[in-house]
Amino acid sequence: MLQNDTSNYNNDNAKKNIKVIIKNPKEKRIIRLSIVLATIFVIFSFLFATPPIAKHIPISVSIYSLLNRVLNFGSKWSAIIGIAFAMGWYVVTKLLKKNKEENIPSSKLLISFARIARLYHVPIAILALGFAFVHAYIDILNGVKLNIGYITGFIALLTFILVSISGIRRYMAKHKLHLVSSIILIALLIIHIIYFMFFNGN
Protein backbone atom coordinates (compact mmCIF):
# COMPACT_ATOMS: atom_id res chain seq x y z
CA MET A 1 0.00 0.00 0.00
CA LEU A 2 2.80 2.38 0.97
CA GLN A 3 4.66 1.53 -2.23
CA ASN A 4 1.58 2.36 -4.34
CA ASP A 5 1.12 5.68 -2.53
CA THR A 6 4.78 6.54 -3.12
CA SER A 7 4.48 5.61 -6.78
CA ASN A 8 1.36 7.76 -7.21
CA TYR A 9 3.07 10.65 -5.42
CA ASN A 10 6.09 10.44 -7.73
CA ASN A 11 3.85 10.29 -10.81
CA ASP A 12 1.90 13.34 -9.66
CA ASN A 13 5.13 15.24 -9.04
CA ALA A 14 6.44 14.29 -12.46
CA LYS A 15 3.26 15.60 -14.11
CA LYS A 16 3.47 18.83 -12.12
CA ASN A 17 7.12 19.30 -13.08
CA ILE A 18 6.27 18.89 -16.76
CA LYS A 19 3.45 21.43 -16.48
CA VAL A 20 5.62 24.08 -14.81
CA ILE A 21 8.58 23.76 -17.21
CA ILE A 22 7.02 26.60 -19.22
CA LYS A 23 5.17 28.91 -16.82
CA ASN A 24 3.96 31.56 -19.27
CA PRO A 25 0.58 30.32 -20.68
CA LYS A 26 0.93 32.40 -23.86
CA GLU A 27 4.44 31.10 -24.47
CA LYS A 28 3.24 27.55 -23.83
CA ARG A 29 0.48 27.90 -26.44
CA ILE A 30 2.85 29.35 -29.03
CA ILE A 31 5.41 26.58 -28.44
CA ARG A 32 2.74 23.90 -28.81
CA LEU A 33 1.57 25.52 -32.05
CA SER A 34 5.14 25.66 -33.38
CA ILE A 35 5.63 21.96 -32.60
CA VAL A 36 2.44 21.08 -34.48
CA LEU A 37 3.35 23.26 -37.48
CA ALA A 38 6.93 21.95 -37.60
CA THR A 39 5.70 18.35 -37.44
CA ILE A 40 3.17 18.89 -40.24
CA PHE A 41 5.77 20.63 -42.41
CA VAL A 42 8.35 17.87 -41.89
CA ILE A 43 5.88 15.05 -42.64
CA PHE A 44 4.49 16.62 -45.81
CA SER A 45 7.96 17.69 -46.99
CA PHE A 46 9.35 14.19 -46.46
CA LEU A 47 6.44 12.72 -48.41
CA PHE A 48 6.88 15.26 -51.22
CA ALA A 49 10.65 14.75 -51.45
CA THR A 50 10.61 10.92 -51.32
CA PRO A 51 10.86 9.65 -54.95
CA PRO A 52 8.62 6.53 -54.63
CA ILE A 53 5.84 8.74 -53.23
CA ALA A 54 6.55 11.82 -55.34
CA LYS A 55 6.13 9.91 -58.61
CA HIS A 56 2.39 9.69 -57.89
CA ILE A 57 2.04 13.48 -57.69
CA PRO A 58 0.25 14.68 -60.85
CA ILE A 59 2.80 17.30 -61.97
CA SER A 60 5.53 17.29 -64.60
CA VAL A 61 9.08 16.23 -63.74
CA SER A 62 10.45 19.70 -64.47
CA ILE A 63 7.96 21.42 -62.16
CA TYR A 64 8.55 18.82 -59.43
CA SER A 65 12.31 19.30 -59.74
CA LEU A 66 11.90 23.06 -59.43
CA LEU A 67 9.61 22.77 -56.41
CA ASN A 68 12.02 20.33 -54.78
CA ARG A 69 14.91 22.77 -55.22
CA VAL A 70 12.79 25.61 -53.85
CA LEU A 71 11.83 23.46 -50.85
CA ASN A 72 15.47 22.61 -50.16
CA PHE A 73 16.69 26.18 -50.62
CA GLY A 74 13.83 27.65 -48.59
CA SER A 75 14.27 25.14 -45.76
CA LYS A 76 17.99 25.79 -45.60
CA TRP A 77 17.75 29.57 -45.30
CA SER A 78 14.65 29.48 -43.10
CA ALA A 79 16.57 27.30 -40.64
CA ILE A 80 19.56 29.67 -40.69
CA ILE A 81 17.38 32.76 -40.20
CA GLY A 82 15.51 31.05 -37.36
CA ILE A 83 18.73 30.11 -35.59
CA ALA A 84 20.11 33.63 -36.06
CA PHE A 85 16.94 35.11 -34.55
CA ALA A 86 17.10 32.77 -31.55
CA MET A 87 20.77 33.59 -30.94
CA GLY A 88 20.02 37.28 -31.44
CA TRP A 89 17.84 37.20 -28.34
CA TYR A 90 20.80 36.06 -26.22
CA VAL A 91 23.12 38.73 -27.67
CA VAL A 92 20.58 41.52 -27.17
CA THR A 93 19.83 40.35 -23.61
CA LYS A 94 23.53 40.45 -22.74
CA LEU A 95 23.84 43.90 -24.31
CA LEU A 96 20.87 45.23 -22.32
CA LYS A 97 22.34 43.78 -19.13
CA LYS A 98 25.70 45.41 -19.83
CA ASN A 99 24.05 48.77 -20.54
CA LYS A 100 22.13 48.53 -17.28
CA GLU A 101 25.29 47.76 -15.28
CA GLU A 102 27.10 50.72 -16.87
CA ASN A 103 24.07 53.03 -16.59
CA ILE A 104 23.89 53.41 -20.36
CA PRO A 105 20.36 53.95 -21.71
CA SER A 106 19.27 51.24 -24.13
CA SER A 107 17.42 52.08 -27.32
CA LYS A 108 13.70 51.34 -27.56
CA LEU A 109 14.43 49.17 -30.59
CA LEU A 110 16.69 46.85 -28.56
CA ILE A 111 14.19 46.65 -25.72
CA SER A 112 11.33 45.90 -28.11
CA PHE A 113 13.35 43.20 -29.89
CA ALA A 114 14.29 41.62 -26.55
CA ARG A 115 10.62 41.43 -25.51
CA ILE A 116 9.51 39.94 -28.81
CA ALA A 117 12.45 37.52 -29.02
CA ARG A 118 11.94 36.44 -25.40
CA LEU A 119 8.49 35.15 -26.32
CA TYR A 120 9.16 33.84 -29.82
CA HIS A 121 12.79 32.62 -29.92
CA VAL A 122 11.89 29.10 -28.76
CA PRO A 123 8.96 28.59 -31.19
CA ILE A 124 11.07 29.97 -34.05
CA ALA A 125 13.94 27.67 -33.07
CA ILE A 126 11.52 24.70 -33.14
CA LEU A 127 10.38 25.66 -36.64
CA ALA A 128 14.02 26.12 -37.66
CA LEU A 129 14.78 22.59 -36.48
CA GLY A 130 11.97 21.30 -38.70
CA PHE A 131 13.38 23.22 -41.66
CA ALA A 132 16.84 21.81 -40.90
CA PHE A 133 15.51 18.23 -40.93
CA VAL A 134 13.88 18.78 -44.33
CA HIS A 135 17.02 20.37 -45.79
CA ALA A 136 19.17 17.50 -44.50
CA TYR A 137 16.74 14.87 -45.81
CA ILE A 138 16.63 16.33 -49.32
CA ASP A 139 20.41 16.65 -49.43
CA ILE A 140 20.78 13.01 -48.38
CA LEU A 141 18.41 11.96 -51.17
CA ASN A 142 20.47 14.00 -53.65
CA GLY A 143 23.63 12.16 -52.61
CA VAL A 144 26.01 12.69 -49.72
CA LYS A 145 29.61 13.72 -50.36
CA LEU A 146 32.45 13.45 -47.89
CA ASN A 147 33.53 17.07 -47.83
CA ILE A 148 33.64 19.88 -45.29
CA GLY A 149 30.22 21.19 -46.30
CA TYR A 150 28.33 17.93 -45.74
CA ILE A 151 30.30 16.97 -42.63
CA THR A 152 29.73 20.33 -40.93
CA GLY A 153 26.08 20.23 -41.97
CA PHE A 154 25.56 16.80 -40.41
CA ILE A 155 27.38 17.76 -37.21
CA ALA A 156 25.42 21.04 -37.11
CA LEU A 157 22.12 19.13 -37.25
CA LEU A 158 23.18 16.88 -34.37
CA THR A 159 24.33 19.95 -32.44
CA PHE A 160 21.00 21.65 -33.14
CA ILE A 161 19.21 18.67 -31.61
CA LEU A 162 21.48 18.98 -28.56
CA VAL A 163 20.71 22.71 -28.39
CA SER A 164 16.99 21.93 -28.41
CA ILE A 165 17.26 19.32 -25.65
CA SER A 166 19.47 21.54 -23.48
CA GLY A 167 17.04 24.40 -24.15
CA ILE A 168 14.23 22.40 -22.55
CA ARG A 169 16.42 21.73 -19.52
CA ARG A 170 17.20 25.44 -19.34
CA TYR A 171 13.54 26.11 -18.51
CA MET A 172 14.08 24.17 -15.29
CA ALA A 173 17.51 25.56 -14.38
CA LYS A 174 20.37 27.52 -15.88
CA HIS A 175 22.19 25.20 -18.19
CA LYS A 176 25.59 26.10 -19.68
CA LEU A 177 25.34 23.29 -22.23
CA HIS A 178 22.63 25.27 -24.03
CA LEU A 179 24.89 28.29 -24.51
CA VAL A 180 28.01 26.29 -25.39
CA SER A 181 26.19 24.07 -27.89
CA SER A 182 24.54 27.16 -29.44
CA ILE A 183 27.94 28.80 -30.00
CA ILE A 184 29.29 25.58 -31.55
CA LEU A 185 26.21 25.44 -33.79
CA ILE A 186 26.78 28.99 -35.06
CA ALA A 187 30.46 28.22 -35.77
CA LEU A 188 29.53 25.06 -37.70
CA LEU A 189 26.89 26.92 -39.71
CA ILE A 190 29.35 29.66 -40.66
CA ILE A 191 31.80 27.05 -42.00
CA HIS A 192 28.94 25.19 -43.70
CA ILE A 193 27.61 28.31 -45.44
CA ILE A 194 31.04 29.61 -46.48
CA TYR A 195 31.97 26.25 -48.00
CA PHE A 196 28.85 25.94 -50.14
CA MET A 197 28.86 29.61 -51.15
CA PHE A 198 32.51 29.90 -52.17
CA PHE A 199 34.04 26.44 -52.58
CA ASN A 200 31.34 24.08 -53.80
CA GLY A 201 29.42 26.15 -56.32
CA ASN A 202 25.98 25.30 -54.84
pLDDT higher than 50, residue 3:
no
Residue 93 has pLDDT above 70, yes or no: yes
Is the pTM here over 0.85, yes or no? no
The per-residue pLDDT for range 131-165, each reduced to its tens digit, is 999 999 999 998 888 888 899 999 999 999 988 88
SS (H, E, C) 143-190: CCCCCHHHHHHHHHHHHHHHHHHHHHHHHHCCCHHHHHHHHHHHHHHH
pLDDT, tens digit (0-9, with 9 covering 90-100), for 17-75 = 444 566 778 888 888 999 999 999 999 999 999 988 888 888 888 888 899 889 999 99
pLDDT of 171 reads: 58
**What pLDDT is stored for residue 17 in this prediction?**
46
pLDDT score at 187? 92
> Lowest-pLDDT range, 38-47, 107-116, 163-172?
163-172
Q: What percent of the chain has pLDDT over 70?
A: 84
